[in-house]
Amino acid sequence: MSRFTGKTAIVTGASRGIGLAIAERLVADGAKVVITARKAEALDEAVQSLGGLDNALGVAGHAADLDHQVEVISRAIDTFGSADLLVNNTGINPAYGPLTELPLDAARKVIDVNCIAALSWVQQIHRLWMKEHGGAIVNVASVAGLKPAPGIALYGASKAMLIHLTEELAVELGPTIRVNAVAPAVVKTKFATALYEGREETVAAQYPLRRLGEPEDIGSVVGFLLSKDAAWLTGQTIVIDGGLTLTGGVE
């Protein structure tokens, strides 16, 4: 028996990058997974890479859409029999630059997708499954949520809110539901390309572990947080950063 045998996980924003690596790790450890993203084609490819429909189901939609959230959770329960684990992985950062020039519509969108949607996923999975059966939740935050991150400041503020939401939810949902977060530094995905492309060696030199993150570095820690090995751990944010924040850096 693997540690997630008989468990079903929902991972949002998981057709590539960190979300897909989390799904891969959970499937490798015996879970069934339901993954989401907006584009159906990439989602289909991800399902195939996870071993096909025996292991994974893809449901296309926007993470902030309530009907989509309810559909995903309902299909997890109908298809695999439960909705035990939730990973709020979807996050966006559509605008770079100083806060004084940030279009407020962009600011609202970031808060809506990175924070309000994550809360809504928790509300819906609580109502439809976890209130009765318990479960475990991980929110994917960022080191940008730990201290000022000029240029991506609103994104950082949204991740700070997600970290605080994690603590509030942990207090509210114990003892049967655990809620934790991870805060990665730069991980080599499409999302972070602008932060390292063409200068990876220079960027990596700032990290005590002398390399940038790989999506698998996050998948393994999320797997731990969702597992029984973390049974007495809730409301915590695990910083996964190759040591970067020890040096004062956040990106």
Ligand X SMILES: NC(=O)c1ccc[n+]([C@@H]2O[C@H](COP(=O)([O-])OP(=O)(O)OC[C@H]3O[C@@H](n4cnc5c(N)ncnc54)[C@H](OP(=O)(O)O)[C@@H]3O)[C@@H](O)[C@H]2O)c1
Helix axes 40-49, 17-28, angle to 10 degrees: 30
Residue selected from 69, 90, 124, 166 as contacting ligand X according to rule CB under 6 A: 90
Residue with tokens 């698998």: 216
**Shortest Å distance, C-beta 51 to ligand X:** 18
Q: Measure the CA–CA gap between 207 and 101, rounded to whole angstroms.
A: 31
Q: What would the 3-class secondary structure string for 26-46 be?
A: HHHCCCEEEEEECCHHHHHHH
Span near ligand X by CB under 6 A; candidates 34-42, 74-82, 126-134, 198-206: 34-42
Compare residues 44 and 132 and give the one whose CB is closer to ligand X.
44
**Shortest Å distance, C-beta 12 to ligand X:** 6
Compare residues 91 and 242 and give the one whose CB is closer to ligand X.
91
Span near ligand X by CB under 6 A; candidates 83-91, 97-105, 130-138, 220-228: 83-91
Does 17 bind ligand X (CB under 6 A)? Our answer is: yes
Please list every residue from 133 through 152 that binds ligand X, using CB under 6 A.
140, 142
Q: Measure the CA–CA gap between 181 and 165, rounded to whole angstroms.
A: 10
**Shortest Å distance, C-beta 105 to ligand X:** 15
**Shortest Å distance, C-beta 199 to ligand X:** 15
155 classed as catalytic = yes
Q: Measure the CA–CA gap between 213 and 241, rounded to whole angstroms.
A: 7
Does 16 bind ligand X (CB under 6 A)? Our answer is: yes
Does 186 bind ligand X (CB under 6 A)? Our answer is: yes
Binding residues vs ligand X (CB under 6 A): 13-19, 36-39, 42, 62-63, 89-92, 113, 140, 142, 184, 186-187, 189-192
Active site residues: 155
